[in-house]
Each structure stands twice: as structure tokens, then as C-alpha cells.
Chain A
Amino acid sequence: MELIWDSLPRLFDGALLTIQITAISVAIGLLAAVPLALLRLSHNPFVRLPVYAYIFYFRGTPFIVQLFLIYYGSGQFRDTLEAVGLWIFFREAYFCAVLALTLNTAAYTAEIFRGAIQGVPFGEIEAARACGMSRGLLYRRIILPKALRLALPAYSNEVVFLLQTTSIVSIIALLDLTGVARVIIARSFEPYKLFLTAAIFYLVMTYGVLFVFKRVEFWLSGHLRDRPDDSLEAEADTAILR
């Protein structure tokens, strides 16, 4: 018990790094995902296919392979990367971890948004066109706001999955929550106590994220409140799977 108590400050530091890399990747991934989803729906195959290939690759391979490919794999091109001045980034585990996480979550999020954009009722789009909205206005006022709301249950799951995926960066010696636990275990030989403590940390963070998303969903669905409509909840239940 004493060991866990003494380790708490360091575990908190680790949790902070976990939250930090999750937040950075989620933010950049989200910004990248919206344009990616739109490009994925483009009618031009030269635009659509590369984006589709990127999404397919990052959804179809394990995150640990993507991380190793970027962190260890970049070493194979060290000379080239040094020549263009990018090596100072790729030699940092932190940079590689955030890059891999961002590319991973952007792919999953883009696919969620694609589904959501296609889920916008066609009548609404037709009505907006009938009102004389331009393409830009149509996307800004009708399609994207509606799609973001439709995507929210699935997106909250994606954020939870990303939070848990960050534990893998401990393998490239980053001191996130899992990394800190492993370092302490290497010295104290008390694996189950520390891993269980770390597990509780993750549990709290996961349900914290889910709580925040529940609030946001509630806040965004004010106009639907009085209607007996539980389709959003049903979607959240099935969306537990990617």
C-alpha cells in the first residue's frame, strides 16, 4: 500500500502526459478529419482514392506497427531526413508518438464523419438548395452542423479508444501512465499492484471523457428533447465497436 501511495505523484505525472498526447492528437486529428472526409466523398477518383488508401491503411493495421514504422522505420532514412532537417523531429519519441496517434485517429475520425455526412437527410440538402444556398453555405449551415451531431456518439468512442491506445507509446520509452508504472515495477517488482492502480487511473479518465461527451450531446440536442426519440442512444450502444 505504501508503495502505491509513494508512487502516486509519479503516476499523476504519467497521467498528465497521457492526457496531453491524447489532447494534442485528438485536436489535430479532428481538424484533419473534416477535410479528409470531404475529400473521401469527392467525385474525382484522383482525390478520393489516395485518401481512401490512407484511411484504409491506418484502419487496417495495428497501431503498434504504425508507431514502430514511424519511430524505428524513420531510422532507415536517417541520412535523407537529416539532409532535409527533419531528423531532429523523428529522433524524438514524443514527436513520433504524437504523429502516429494523430495519423491513426484522423483516419478513424474521417471515416466516422464520412458516414455522418452521408447520413444527413437528403430532404434537408434539397431544401437548402431550393432556398438558393451556395455549396459553401450549404456545407457550413446545413451539412456539417448536422453531421457533427450525428457523428458525436461514434466520435466519443473514438476518443476513448485513442486514450487507451496511448498506453502503447510506453513501448518506445515514453513516460506516460503505463510507462511510469512499468518503470516503477522494474525497480520494485510489484507488478499487479501498480498495473491495477494504473488501470484505475485509466478507468477514471475513460469515464471522465465519456461524461464530458454525454454533456456535450445533451447540450447539442436541446431541440430534440421533448420528442420521444432514442435513436441517438441506440447509436451510442452499437457504436461501442469501431
Chain B
Amino acid sequence: MFDLKGYGWMLWDGVQLTLAVAVCAMVVALFLGLIGAWGKLSSVPVARLAAETYTTVIRGVPELILILIVYYGVPTLIQDVAETMGADIFVDFNSFIAGFLTIGFVYGAFATEVFRGAYQAVPRGQIEAAYAIGMSRMLMARRILLPQMWRFALPGLGNVWMVLIKATALISVIQLPELMRNADIAARAVRQPFTFFFAASLIYLAITIVSMTVQHRAEAWANRGVRRS
């Protein structure tokens, strides 16, 4: 269907990197999401404030700006700080690490909201009952809370994953050779921008469709113990 002029391998390389970045970012997002939800529901005011600030700021600032701050800003900041202390160092970030950390950091805020909602969806009575029969906090979390939270969190987390995978295209601006960046390079080399960007868009679409199917299956599996009317 497409004549990619022998540049198809570049798109293939790009897809692999895109998926690698997305998976790493998702792990970071899940980790930060759990911490963030714990902070938001915590009785410690400082933890609540920190979690609240985290989600508020992330929600108000574009991902692109955050990517640029992390990739270009943070190394300069470290250098400036080092300079005031008399050290002359040169810091350079790996664009893969900077990319997945930033995307993970951004979507951690969204995962926070998902986990918080999932926690609140677990009936209070069950938690009370767990304590009443003498479960410790950890045991209660492991046996009662987490197994049910995953079920409530799954639709939201699937959503986070699908927005996240699209957001990885932005890492192309810091020259990580993922799908978007490689499509750009190939498009310039062959001078057929439409062909390559359209091919790239269809690949993203395919990833979305596969993710949707997996999400559907996972939700059916997670809800297997729930009676349907």
C-alpha cells in the first residue's frame, strides 16, 4: 500500500523505541500514581499538600514544556548550581531517560486520580470488616484493598496508557529516534512527508486498537467474579 522507499526499517526501529519508552514511562506513572494517591488520602498534611501540588501543577502545564524543562533546563540548572559552589561540570541527559521520566512524571499525576478514585470505590465496610477480624494494615491492603482497587482502576489506567503512548511522540523534539522522529527523518530524506507521517499515524492507530482490545480482555478478566444483570 505504501512505497516507503526502503525506509520501512526506520519506522520499525522507531516503533520498538516508542514502545520501550511508553512501557518505562507507564511503570514510573504507576509507581508515582500509587504514591500520589497515598499522599492525597494521607492524614499527614504535608503529604496531602505535596500530592495536591503535584497534580495541580501537572494539570496546568503542557507536556512539551515539561519535556523541554527536564531535557534542557535541569542540566543547566545543575551546572549553574555547581558553578556557584565553584565546580565546573558538564551535565548532559540521555534523551531516552529524560523522555520516559518526564512522560512518567506527567502521567503519574493522572494515575494518582485513578488510584484515588479506585480506593474510594472499595466499600468501607469491607475494610472495617478486615480490621475487625484482626488483619494488619499490610494484610488488609494485600488481601482486600489492592485486589479490588485493580478492578476499579483498570478502565482509568487503560485510558492513561492510551494517552501516554500518544504523548511519547513529543519526545521526538529532544531527538530520541522513536517512531515520530524516524518518520520525520525518513520523510525529509525521501521528500514524501505525507506518506511517512500517514504511515506513522496508522502505526499509532494500530497500537491504540491493540491496547483497546487488551484493555477490554483485561477488564473482562478482572470482573470475572462480578455478577452481571
Contacts and interface: CB of A to CB of B under 8 A. Distances in A.
Contact of A202 (B65, B163, B167): B65
A168 interface: yes
Interface residues of A, number: 46
A89 interface: no
Listed residue (A62, A165, A166, A238) with the most chain B CB atoms within 10 angstroms of its CB: A62
A171 B173 contact: yes
A165 B167 CA distance: 10
Interface string A34-62: 00000000000000000000001100111
A199 B187 CA distance: 32
A145 interface: no
A195 interface: yes
B113 A196 contact: no
Interface string B43-87: 000000000000001011111111011001110110000000000
A119 interface: no
Interface of B is mostly: helix
Given A165-B62, A202-B61, A237-B113, A191 B204 contact: no
A73 B65 contact: no
Contacts of B198: 69, 73
B166 A73 contact: no
Interface stretch (B1-9, B140-148, B188-196): B188-196
Q: How large is the interface on B (under 10, 10 to 19, 20 to 34, 35 or more residues)?
A: 35 or more
B60 A242 contact: no
A241 B163 contact: yes
B2 to A, nearest CB: 13
B101 interface: no
A225 B208 CA distance: 40
Contact of A164 (B62, B180, B197): B62
A167 B69 contact: no
A240 B204 contact: no
B193 A65 contact: no
Interface in B155-175: 156, 159-160, 163, 166-170, 172-173
Contacts of A165: 62
8 contacts: A60-B205, A60-B209, A62-B169, A64-B169, A69-B198, A191-B72, A206-B61, A240-B59
Interface of B: 57, 59-66, 68-69, 72-74, 76-77, 110, 113-114, 117, 156, 159-160, 163, 166-170, 172-173, 180, 183-184, 187, 191-195, 197-198, 200-201, 204-205, 208-209
